[in-house]
Chains A and B, each alone.
Chain A
Amino acid sequence: MAKKKSRAIPEINASSMADIAFLLLIFFLVTTTIGADKGLNMLLPPKKDPTAPVDVNLKDKNVFKVIVNSRNQLLVEDEPMDVRILKEECKKFLSNNNADPTLSESPEKAVVSLKTDRGTDYKVYVKVLDELIAAYNELRAEKLGISVERYLQLDEKNPKEDELLKYAQKVYPRRLSEAEPTSVVK
């Protein structure tokens, strides 16, 4: 019998596999997009029914009027305001519960009305909308005793979390409406 030599284990050259994987990777990098489907959810008012009776009976103090003009200036409750304090003012308005006679009676009755002009920048509109939604979310999170980040992560599909969401939405219903836009374009 032939003497056994210590033979080197043959290695398969795998370097081309890396090339193939790289090609696939580059193909996916080029043809796909990272899904960024996050944003501010809004519900538009339904189409106007001309036959429906007009039944708008809101007390003036229950309406928080926010107007943004074509120069991106903010007018809140007929007074100019800085966007940085809008959230606090809105929270104060919503959680008033009859304490201040000029503000809302209760969170359920309170309505936030946002009106923009045709010349308003979209960026400013989103900023204002974000602040108003933040006011609602912070109040809801406060009610549930959790952080805002945690509140935003609550999942409707989880029955326990859904219950929390429903509760928060009942205490602070989001009645954020958008008025018909004016058309002053400069």
Chain B
Amino acid sequence: MAKFSKKSNANPTISTASLPDIIFILLFFFMVTTRMRDTSIMVQQRLPAATQLQEIEQKSLVSYIYVGKPKEPGQHGTEPRVQVDDVFIPTTGIPQFVELEKAKLPEAERAMIWMSLKVDNETKMGILNDVKLQLREANALKINYSSVRAGVAAAGM
């Protein structure tokens, strides 16, 4: 019969040397797939679901307009508002915003600007139509209704 030799009595330590590696992999994943939050969104954002989603290729050409009910109704009321960057603006302020956004882009790309409309589900079309009218006024015609992928059952047709 083989003899089992008893080894030292010290507690075996589990090597945690690979733990940092795992965390670093997670970290790199997040660094690559996310981007910095540049604005704090002050309106409700529950995006609608759709199936025919398309991605905007050049992220640098995209400017965002947020529409929805303010998160703090005590301060800003309950009516849907338009937010750009970090402030609420009236819809008539949109052409000016578009001009500012265009000025940030190189000259050759200014006409190619995309406006991404992040509109809350419960918003009525009235305010959105005002926004669209102002975008037409500012000649920013390419828009994207930001939405999330609808459930697989709907997409599978």
Contact = CB atoms under 8 A, between A and B. Distances in A.
A125 B136 CA distance: 19
Interface string A150-181: 00100011000000000000000000001001
Nearest to B25: A21
Given A14-B16, A40-B50, A122-B124, A24 B147 contact: no
Contacts of A42: 143-145
B139 A46 contact: yes
Contacts, number: 165
Given A35-B59, A152-B52, A126 B125 contact: no
B30 A28 contact: yes
Given A37-B56, A38-B147, A44-B143, A117 B35 contact: no
Interface residues of A, number: 53
Contact of B141 (A43, A122, A157): A43
Contact of B119 (A29, A41, A122, A148): A122
B126 A119 contact: yes
A39 B125 contact: no
Interface centre among A31, A44, A122 (most CB of B within 10 A): A122
A39 B144 contact: yes
A33 B124 contact: no
A36 B145 CA distance: 12
A32 B36 contact: yes
A120 B150 CA distance: 20
A56 interface: no
18 contacts: A21-B20, A35-B34, A37-B55, A38-B54, A38-B149, A39-B53, A39-B116, A40-B53, A44-B143, A122-B121, A122-B123, A122-B128, A126-B49, A126-B50, A126-B145, A130-B147, A130-B150, A148-B157
